[in-house]
Amino acid sequence: MKNKLKVYRAMNDLTQEDLAKELKVTRQTIIAIEKLKYDPSLALAFKIARFFNVQIEEIFLDTE
Amino acid sequence: MNQNSLKIILILTSAIQTVLWVAGLILANVKLVISALIIIVAILPLVYVHRNDISEMFQRDSNKIVEDERTQLINDKSSTLTLGVLIGTIIYVGLIIVSLRNVYPQFLFTGYTLLITALFGLVIFIISSSYYKRRY
């Protein structure tokens, strides 16, 4: 699964640390999601979408 | 009970338990080891009730997130691997020792102990796995 997390983070002028604090996850999780090494759970994906005030599919793209 | 007094109780009981364990092992006194076990059993309900606060209680910076879904996934995968390797190793070493019973009969009991330990580990794994299968 691809994602635009890095783009949205940059658009909102947030560091990985800031975003991690807001989402209550570790910074390593943000890094792993951005590097496409880890697909977040549905709950976390919704949380991210809600935080950026967009639909979930605008950030996460199904590549299959 | 507030968090501070709970923290003090946990630290004190842990220290007492450690002293009892170590003293029991050094002095070869089973009564001390059993006393430590009794303290563990006595403190377990308290630990269970406050299980969600304990990690936060002993964390220096309570705002810092140290565990999330990714770390849980990592722990899950690494513990499954660890269990597999450990049980596999114990079974093979146990089998080797038991099969060498004509050469080293004095180690036969050790071999059976290892095999029973592996079996016990497998039984616990099967029970917990069927519990979580029903739950999720």
**ipTM of the complex model:** 0.86
What pLDDT does A63 receive?
80
Q: With an 8 Å Cβ cutoff, are B70 and A24 in contact? A: no
Give domain limits for chain B: 3-57, 69-135
Q: Cα distance from B68 to chain A (closest Cα, Å)?
A: 5
Q: Within its chain, how far is the Cα of B111 from the centroid?
A: 22
Amino acid at A55: Q
CA-based nearest residue in chain B for residue A22: B65
The list of chain B residues with pLDDT below 70 reads: 1, 61-62
Q: Cα distance from B62 to chain A (closest Cα, Å)?
A: 12
Distance CA A27, CA A17 (A): 5
How many domains does chain A divide into? 1
> Is residue A63 one of the residues assigned to a domain?
no
Distance CA B110, CA B101 (A): 11
- The mean pLDDT values, 10 residues at a time, for chain A of 64 residues are 94 94 94 95 96 94 83
Burial of A49 (0-12, 13-18, 19+ CB in 10 A): middle
What pLDDT does B62 receive?
65
> Is residue A64 one of the residues assigned to a domain?
no
Q: Return the residue in A29, A34, A35, A36 with the most chain B beta carbons within 10 A, the one to mutate for interface testing.
A: A29
| B 62-101 residues inside an 8 A Cβ radius of A | 63, 65-71, 73
Q: Return the residue in B59, B66, B68 with the most chain A beta carbons within 10 A, the one to mutate for interface testing.
A: B68
What CATH number corresponds to the domain at position A40? 1.10.260.40
Sign of CA dihedral A27, A33, A36, A37: positive
b/e per residue B33-52 (b: at least 16 CB within 10 A): bebbeeeeeebeeeeeebee
Give the domain extent around A40. 2-58
CA atoms within 13 A on the CB side of B15: 6
Beta bridge partners of A61: A2
pTM recorded for the entire structure: 0.74
